[in-house]
C-alpha cells in the first residue's frame, strides 16, 4: 500500500506513509491498538481489507487532513477488528479464499491426454 492509495492526507503524513512497510507500521501510524499475535497471522488480510474499504470510498471523504486521518484510522480499526474474532478463511478477503471448494473443478485423466 502506498501513499497514493491514501489520498488527501497532508504532506507530512504522506511522507511518513512512504516509510511504512508492515501492517504493524500502519496500525502504529494510525494509532490503532492491536494484539501482535492477531496481526502476525492476518497481516496481509488486514491490509487488504483496509485497501478494500478505501477503494469503496469514492465520495464523501472528509475535507480536512485531520478528519481524513481519523477516517482512515476508523477504516483500519474496522479492518483489524474483523479478524479479532474471526479468521482469514472465514473473512475471505484474499482471492485464494474465494475459490470454489476442493474437487469442484474436476478434470479426468482421460481429458488430459488430449485425444
Helix orientation angle between 36-56 and 65-81, rounded to the nearest 10 degrees:
120
Mean predicted confidence (pLDDT) in 70-75: 91
Q: Is residue 101 part of a domain?
A: no
1: confidence class by pLDDT, cuts 50, 70, 90 = very low
For 19-31, how does the pLDDT look when each residue is reduced to its tens digit (9 = 90+)? 888 999 999 999 9
Give the residue carrying C-alpha cell 474499504.
53
Q: Is residue 111 part of a domain?
A: no
Question: How many helices and strands, by DSSP H and E, does the chain display?
Answer: 6, 0
* pLDDT at site 98: 47
* pLDDT at site 29: 92
Q: Is residue 61 part of a domain?
A: yes
* pLDDT at site 76: 94
Q: Is residue 36 part of a domain?
A: yes
Give the residue carrying C-alpha cell 483489524.
80
Mean predicted confidence (pLDDT) in 57-74: 82
CB neighbour list of residue 19: distance below 8 Å, 6 or more residues apart: 25
Q: Is residue 100 part of a domain?
A: no
* pLDDT at site 28: 94
For 82-112, how does the pLDDT look when each residue is reduced to its tens digit (9 = 90+)? 888 765 555 555 454 445 555 555 656 666 6
Q: Is residue 109 part of a domain?
A: no
Q: Is residue 65 part of a domain?
A: yes
Tell me which residue range forms the domain holding 77: 6-94
Higher pLDDT, 73 or 95: 73
Number of compact structural domains in the chain? 1
Q: Is residue 113 part of a domain?
A: no
Amino acid at each position: 500500500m502506498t501513499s497514493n492509495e491514501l489520498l488527501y492526507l497532508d504532506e507530512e503524513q504522506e511522507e511518513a506513509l512512504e516509510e511504512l512497510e508492515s501492517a504493524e507500521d500502519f496500525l502504529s501510524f494510525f494509532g490503532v491498538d492491536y494484539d501482535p499475535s492477531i496481526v502476525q497471522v492476518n497481516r496481509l488480510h488486514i491490509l487488504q481489507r483496509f485497501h478494500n474499504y478505501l477503494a469503496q470510498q469514492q465520495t464523501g471523504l472528509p475535507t480536512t487532513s485531520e478528519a481524513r486521518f481519523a477516517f482512515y484510522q476508523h477504516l483500519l480499526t474496522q479492518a483489524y477488528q474483523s479478524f479479532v474474532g474471526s479468521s482469514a478463511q472465514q473473512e475471505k478477503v484474499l482471492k485464494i479464499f474465494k475459490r470454489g471448494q476442493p474437487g469442484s473443478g474436476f478434470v479426468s485423466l482421460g481429458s488430459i491426454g488430449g485425444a
